[in-house]
Structure 1
Amino acid sequence: MAAIPLIELWRGGMLESVHAGHAVICDESGAIVEAWGDPEAVIFPRSSCKMIQALPLIESGAAEAFGLAEAQLALACASHNGAHIHTDPVNRWLADLGMGDDDLRCGTQMPDDRDARKELMCSDAAPCQVHNNCSGKHAGFLTLGRHLKAGPDYVEVDHPVQKAVRAAFEEVTGEASPGYGIDGCSAPNFATSLHGLGRAMAGFAAANPEGNARERAMARLWRAMVAYPALVAGEGRACTNLMRAMGGKVAVKTGAEAVFVAILPEMKRGVAVKILDGGTRASEAAITALLVRLGALEAGHPVVGRYLSDPMLNRRGIAVGEMRLAPGFAA
């Protein structure tokens, strides 16, 4: 099966652009409830799978041994803006480990947060690795590595940290990963089918907080995400805005190259979306549409307008176009 049109852009009454992709909704058993495109298409989940990568942090006992708070678990799942609300707690986390910025392996990044970026530019200071949007995940990797008494190069695919991540990844997706790529933060990113990713998200959604070790870890992570939506992304970001709009009932997470997932515990549903051209605006629109379809978001909520239904404005505030659902998708 091929990718199908999911999101369209119209301008002047004409179809200007089409974003094709795949989407899947899974139930608590991992079975497909609805799908568009090819649910067996193999993708890199990129940062949408950070909650999976954080499972060994809890399951190993590392989170408990180092007394990690819920906010730190949210940061372990984050692709953050590099604002002080992100970098300050990551710096404290590293200090508690007796470590510092040089122990990270994610690379430096100019923060996306406007105030943090201006602060660096006006002081002629260089960005640090802690500004990297993945620094919370890497602090989690360092914590797990310390607990396992493993070496410092925790991003190597044969390192005990990444072996633990791969094992958890394959277990929750229900698939042997066919391979991996190196993510923007230098960590391995294991491939899976879209169905596998949706199955994993449904597993998080159905996890019993009082269940076995895996279920307790899953529940702790999605609960941390919805408790601290600003830590998971930041002001103005879709993940933060959507989770706030749903009042802590649904966790969502984006990934580079237009991957988006959702965890819906009340419905015990998991959602995964991949836009083939990597267009973020389309993945944000698609996940919003699916959240409306599932009843997690009211169609008239302002956040739905922001990512899907409001007119597109030019720099003078003139309505020039609109995003539409492609025929047959999430209607």
Structure 2
Amino acid sequence: MNNHDFPAHAPLAVQTRGELVESVHYGSIIALAPDGGSLISRGEPTARAYPRSALKPLLAVAMLRAGLELPTDQLALAAASHSGATEHQETAARILAAAGLSEADLRNSTDLPYGVGEREEWLAAGKGPTQLAQNCSGKHAALVATCVKNGWPLETYLHPDHPLTALIRETVAELTGEEITAISTDGCGTEVFGLSLNGMARAFSTLVTAAPGAPERLVADAMRAHPEMVAGSGRDVTALMEAVPGLLAKDGFEGIQLIALADGSALALKISDGGDRARMPVAVPALLAMGVDPGLLEPFNHLPVYGGGRPVGELRGLPPTG
């Protein structure tokens, strides 16, 4: 890679301490109107990036297209990066049990619970990394359940030539409107695809505007009905969906945030340094520009920076430009 391969990211967020700008987060962002027109564009939203876990709702759509049927809380967990709370792990186990499977049938990586409180409680109990505790266990439980539904091999469900992997690839290409040209492996073992922010936003718009009962809409409705399953207690994605009626949100590692509003407008952003802390401060000014009630977003705006135990600055997103 040379310098010409670097996306033309722009400043999206600043952290101040006292009178000085202490840090700057660069990135790219796109917001689309319900008709697909551009509302906000900064940086280089056409550059390809890996959506990481923000891709999970699209994988869930593919699984429903393959005939998987799940209660809404379990479907939300299939699209989740959960915190590893007891309810998350038990729900993943129920997906497996309904298909006649167990944790031994999973091929995701092992990990401790992702949530801070959940991880501390887990460690205090003397427990170590497991596949159910790993934040993608709901997705993997649904993947193997889909294989059982179709009579597809279980042991190779992560392989590039597996029928489910091929269906996922086709579904992602369709929903984003983009040809899949870059493929790698996510942390949990599934394929992840290089996509533009434009394509990611288009896909999320489709999820919320699809006809009731369509796989896309079923996934969006399940996530919005069970935001506690999509992330967990204290997580900003869960809190945002609880705060703003009809909003759909999913985050991904390396600074990805995807959001769609009930009217079909959609937002996709990438923080160039992969930093998680800037996701929500950058999203908030864009959501305000998209017409979301400022009062609903107040808890997510202007994160304080402390010095000596008192606020001395803030991390805030820069106002978006059209």
Q: Same fold by TM-score, threshold 0.5 exceeded?
A: yes
For residues 248-287 of structure 1, what are the structure 2 equivalents within 5 Å?
249-265=246-262, 267-287=263-283
Pairing 1:220–2:218 present: yes
Aligned 8 A contact 2:13 2:26 in 1: yes
- With over 3 angstroms needed to count, the CA separation of the structure-2 counterparts of 1:109 and 1:294, relative to structure 1, is same
Aligned 8 A contact 1:24 1:271 in 2: yes
Aligned 8 A contact 1:203 1:270 in 2: no
- With over 3 angstroms needed to count, the CA separation of the structure-2 counterparts of 1:238 and 1:154, relative to structure 1, is same
Aligned 8 A contact 2:40 2:321 in 1: no
Pairing 1:196–2:175 present: no
Structure 1 residue 199 displacement after superposition: 1.2
Map of 1:313 onto structure 2? 306
For residues 6-85 of structure 1, what are the structure 2 equivalents within 5 Å?
6-63=12-69, 68-85=70-87
Aligned 8 A contact 1:30 1:198 in 2: no
Structure 1 residue 127 displacement after superposition: 3.0
- What is the CA deviation profile of residues 1-29 of structure 1, one whole-angstrom value per residue up to 9, with x for unaligned ones? 71110111111111111111111112344
Map of 1:244 onto structure 2? 242
Amino acid at match of 2:273: D
Structure 1 residue 49 displacement after superposition: 1.4
Structure 1 residue 96 displacement after superposition: 1.6
Map of 1:159 onto structure 2? 162
- Aligned-partner SS, 2:278: helix
Q: Unmatched 5+ residue regions in structure 2?
A: 1-6
CA distance in 2: counterparts of 1:182 and 1:225, whole angstroms: 24
CA distance in 2: counterparts of 1:27 and 1:20, whole angstroms: 23
CA distance in 2: counterparts of 1:290 and 1:245, whole angstroms: 16
- What is the CA deviation profile of residues 7-57 of structure 1, one whole-angstrom value per residue up to 9, with x for unaligned ones? 111111111111111111123444433211112110000111111011121
CA distance in 2: counterparts of 1:21 and 1:4, whole angstroms: 5
Structure 1 residue 134 displacement after superposition: 0.4
Map of 2:295 onto structure 1? 300
Query: Which of 130, 143, 146 is the equivalent residue of 1:144?
Result: 146
CA distance in 1: counterparts of 2:36 and 2:178, whole angstroms: 12
% identical aligned pairs: 34
- With over 3 angstroms needed to count, the CA separation of the structure-2 counterparts of 1:38 and 1:123, relative to structure 1, is closer
CA distance in 2: counterparts of 1:36 and 1:205, whole angstroms: 24
Amino acid at match of 2:260: I
Structure 1 residue 225 displacement after superposition: 0.6
- What is the CA deviation profile of residues 211-256 of structure 1, one whole-angstrom value per residue up to 9, with x for unaligned ones? xxxxx11111111111111110001101111111113x10101000
Aligned 8 A contact 2:212 2:218 in 1: yes
Aligned 8 A contact 2:247 2:260 in 1: yes
More displaced 10-residue stretch of structure 1: 23-32 or 147-156: 23-32
Structure 1 residue 171 displacement after superposition: 0.4
Q: Unmatched 5+ residue regions in structure 1?
A: 211-215
Structure 1 residue 310 displacement after superposition: 4.4
TM-score in terms of structure 1 length: 0.90
- Aligned-partner SS, 2:294: coil
